[in-house]
Structure formats: C-alpha cells, structure tokens
C-alpha cells in the first residue's frame, strides 16, 4: 500500500514513495541492509515486519529501495524511530530529511504525542538532520551496558528492599522531583516516567528502594530476563543509600542464580554504576532526541 507520495527536495529529481513493509519485502530488505556493516538491523528486521502500530517502512524511488526505518510504540502515544538507513549512494542528498518528515507525520497519524530517537554519540549526521532539519531537541544522554559478573556482596544490614503499595507515597514524592526522567522497559526503548508506570510496577514487582523507611534516596526498576540476566531499566540516586540498594539487587539476583546484569539507563545513572560497581562496561553511549507533535499542525 502506498501511503505517502512526495516530490523530493532539489526540484523533483526523483519521486519518493513511502510504504509500510510486509513479509513479502523480506528478501529485498535483507539485501538492502547487507550494505551496512555490522548492522544489528540485519538480524532483527523480520520482527518489525507487520508489527502494529507502526512497523518497518521503506523509502522507494520507483522500484528502487533507497531507505528503511522503524516506527515503534514502546508506550501509548510515545513513538520511537530507529533503523533509519539510506542507500549509501543517496546519502547527503535530502532523502533522510524527506523520509524523516514522513515518519513524523506517520507517527502522528498513529496517535503519537511525542517521538524519540536514540543517536550514537559519534553520529553527527543523524544528530544534524534530526535537530536542524526536523526540529528534535536533546533531552537526555543514554547509555547501554552490562555488569559481568555481578559482585558477590557479603550479607549486609537490610538498608534496601523491594517497594510495594505501602511505599507508594514516599516513592511517588521521590520521582516527582524527576518528572523529566526517562526509563526503558527494554534497554533501547526510553519512555517517560510517571506515576502510572510506578503503580503498574508496584503490581508486577521490580521496584527497589533504599533506605527501607523514610525519605527515598535511591530507586531502581529491575526485571529478570529469562532467569539469566538482571535488567536495570531505571536508576536514580540522591544520597549514600545507593550502595545498599545495589548490594541488595546483587544479592537478590544471585539468589536466583543470576550473575549478569544489563542496563539501558540515563548516562548519569550508568556513570554512577561504573563508579560504584566493578566489571561495569558501557558499550553504547548516545543522545536521546525528542520532538513533540502537538505543537504544529503540519510538517514541512
Ligand atoms: C543518517 C542518515 C539516515 C541521514 O540520511 P541522508 O539522506 O544522508 O540525510 P540528508 O541528505 O537529508 O541530510 C544529511 C545532512 O548531513 C550532512 N552530512 C554531513 N556529513 C555527512 C555524511 N557523511 N553523509 C551524509 N550526510 C552528511 C549533509 O550535508 C546534510 O546536511 P545539509 O543538508 O545541511 O548539508 C544516512 O546518512 C544514513 O543512512 N546513515 C547510515 C546509517 C545511520 O547512521 N542511521 C541513523 C541511525 S540513528
């Protein structure tokens, strides 16, 4: 289905169309992505084919595939753009900008209020296109990494614990100080943090606080991935209690037979982990760029 038709910049040198990919496009997408070395998308793109809402989109110049991108919704009304790849021979001639405008319009059509993109710290081209051409702003720095193996702390006084509904008020007043914070249900998918997220997590577990009583000084959201990896999806620290919180988490993980941790968190939290925990490696650093969609009626 052709869902967008635009004349590219530069006086109509080509006609770009933007289409939502289906499983029938699998082979040509695989061939297209093979031009990009060590690209995680080559392995992962099939999972986006047909995914709703959003999915994988193609930029076509006639029959020629000239670009890909993924639009996903890690949270209602919050879109995440990723997987933007432009045919190397066409890079730098405005295809990315044009495709980007389509992605914003499509995300809005699918109900997004806000769109985010993670950009590697060395990717100045992407940062330039997103900020200077498409109106995105930097809202955070992001880091992905792992701790392997986890420390094996001696048993400590119980300074930290899981938080439950009884802790709601003190945890809520802690996160109210950080209303701009992002957290990541999946390491690559930052979303905004609010009280609804917190309430949901109280129901499912995975909120750890320190100290156990009184004002919260450190808060983490965690989950266990197939009983092999501890995921840290949010970490905020204020005082000294963070060491107790981390030791508590490592003890809990080890009790489950887990000795590895993976995190996708704001860079300040990742640096805190690195300074406090041996064997912490940050494997990816970059920017979170954000664009609100309710400010203007139309793109371009
Ligand atoms: C980043 C990317 C998507 C941008 O698409 P594009 O079609 O090249 O973008 P545009 O032509 O619209 O704009 C590129 C801008 O960056 C500038 N630029 C600087 N260095 C560049 C480079 N090495 N390659 C391309 N553009 C470059 C261009 O001059 C242009 O800016 P200007 O119009 O102000 O002069 C594309 O280059 C790409 O696929 N890169 C490899 C994969 C990647 O990094 N994906 C993004 C992951 S977040």
Q: Which residues contact 244 (CB under 8 A, 6 or more apart)?
A: 156, 157, 159, 160, 210, 211, 218
Closest by CA to 191, choosing from 273, 77, 45, is 77
Q: pTM of this prediction? A: 0.92
Pairing of strands 280-292, 137-147: antiparallel
Q: Which atom of ligand 1 is least distant from the CA of 82?
A: 48
53, 68 contact by CB (below 8 A): no
For residues 81 and 227, give the distance between their C-alpha atoms in angstroms, rounded to a whole number: 29
42, 131 contact by CB (below 8 A): no
Extract the tokens encoding 236.
């905020």
Tokens 């100080």 found at: 177
Atom 26 of ligand 1, nearest CA residue: 92
Atom 25 of ligand 1, nearest CA residue: 92
Closest by CA to 219, choosing from 244, 186, 199, 196, is 244
Q: Is the CB of 293 under 6 A from ligand 1?
A: no
Write the DSSP string, 159-193. --EE--GGGHHHHHHHHGGGTT-EE-SSTT--EE-
For residues 204 and 198, give the distance between their C-alpha atoms in angstroms, rounded to a whole number: 10
Rounded to 5°, angle at Cα 264 from 67 and 120:
40
Q: Is the CB of 94 under 6 A from ligand 1?
A: yes
Closest by CA to 81, choosing from 61, 65, 102, is 102
pLDDT at residue 155, as a whole number: 76
Q: Which atom of ligand 1 is least distant from the CA of 67?
A: 39
Atom 20 of ligand 1, nearest CA residue: 125
pLDDT at residue 203, as a whole number: 85
Q: Is the CB of 68 under 6 A from ligand 1?
A: no
Question: What are the pLDDT tens digits along the chain (300 aa)?
Answer: 555 554 444 445 678 999 999 999 999 999 999 999 999 999 999 999 989 999 999 999 999 999 999 999 999 999 999 999 999 999 999 999 999 999 999 999 999 999 999 999 999 999 999 999 999 999 999 999 999 999 998 876 678 898 988 899 999 999 999 999 999 999 999 999 998 888 888 888 899 999 999 999 999 999 988 889 999 999 999 888 999 999 999 999 999 999 999 999 999 999 999 999 999 999 999 999 999 997 555 444
Strand partners, 65: 60
Write the DSSP string, 252-275. HHHHTT---EEEEEEHHHHHHHHH
Is the Cα torsion angle 276, 280, 283, 289 positive or negative in sign? negative
């Amino acid at each position: 289905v052709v869902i967008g038709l635009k004349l590219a910049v530069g006086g109509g040198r080509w006609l770009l169309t933007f289409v939502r990919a289906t499983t029938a496009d699998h082979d040509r997408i695989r061939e297209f992505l093979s031009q990009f070395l060590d690209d995680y998308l080559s392995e992962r793109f099939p999972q986006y084919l047909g995914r709703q809402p959003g999915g994988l989109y193609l930029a076509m110049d006639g029959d020629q595939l000239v670009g890909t991108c993924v639009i996903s919704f890690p949270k209602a009304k919050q879109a995440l753009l990723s997987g933007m790849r432009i045919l190397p021979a066409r890079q730098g001639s405005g295809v990315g900008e044009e495709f980007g405008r389509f992605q914003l319009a499509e995300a809005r059509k699918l109900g997004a209020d806000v769109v985010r993109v993670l950009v590697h710290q060395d990717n100045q081209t992407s940062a330039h296109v997103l900020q200077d051409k498409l109106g995105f702003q930097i809202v955070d720095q992001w880091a992905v990494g792992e701790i392997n193996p986890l420390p094996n702390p001696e048993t400590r006084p119980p300074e930290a614990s899981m938080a439950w509904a009884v802790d709601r008020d003190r945890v809520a007043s802690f996160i109210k100080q950080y209303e701009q914070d992002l957290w990541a249900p999946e390491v690559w998918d930052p979303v905004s943090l609010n009280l609804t997220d917190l309430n949901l997590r109280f129901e499912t577990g995975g909120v750890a606080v320190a100290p156990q009583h009184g004002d919260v000084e450190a808060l983490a959201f965690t989950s266990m991935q197939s009983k092999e990896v501890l995921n840290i999806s949010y970490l905020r620290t204020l005082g000294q209690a963070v060491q107790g919180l981390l030791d508590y988490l490592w003890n809990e993980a080890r009790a489950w037979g887990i000795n590895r941790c993976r995190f996708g968190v704001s860079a300040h939290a990742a640096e805190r982990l690195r300074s406090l925990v041996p064997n912490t490696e940050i494997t990816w650093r970059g920017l979170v760029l954000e664009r609100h969609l309710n400010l203007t009626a139309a793109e371009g």
